[in-house]
Amino acid sequence: MEELVGVFVDANRLRRSVLSDILNVTDVNQAAVFLEALAQFLVGFRNRELLSQFDKCSMEL
């Protein structure tokens, strides 16, 4: 269990680092547009119809 917690903590740090790097190289308007698009993307994962279509997709990732 402790190992799993460590994995989640490391993944969270990496995610924050990547977001921070992206936001540091953009101006205020670009950062706002990026964060808005990211929020819309994440909200899309709560849409059951969208998730159903994604699950049915036969394309390999």
Within-domain flag for 13: yes
Within-domain flag for 34: yes
Which residues in the chain come in under a pLDDT of 50?
A: none
Give me the domain span that covers residue 30.
Answer: 2-56
Note the pLDDT of residue 59: 64
Within-domain flag for 50: yes
Within-domain flag for 24: yes
End-to-end CA distance of the chain: 29
Note the pLDDT of residue 29: 92
Contact 34, 22 (CB under 8 A): yes
Length of the chain: 61
Q: Domain count of the chain?
A: 1
Within-domain flag for 61: no
Sign for the CA dihedral angle at 53, 55, 56, 61 comes to positive
C-alpha to C-alpha distances, 27 to 17, 31, 37, 48, nearest whole angstrom? 17, 6, 15, 34
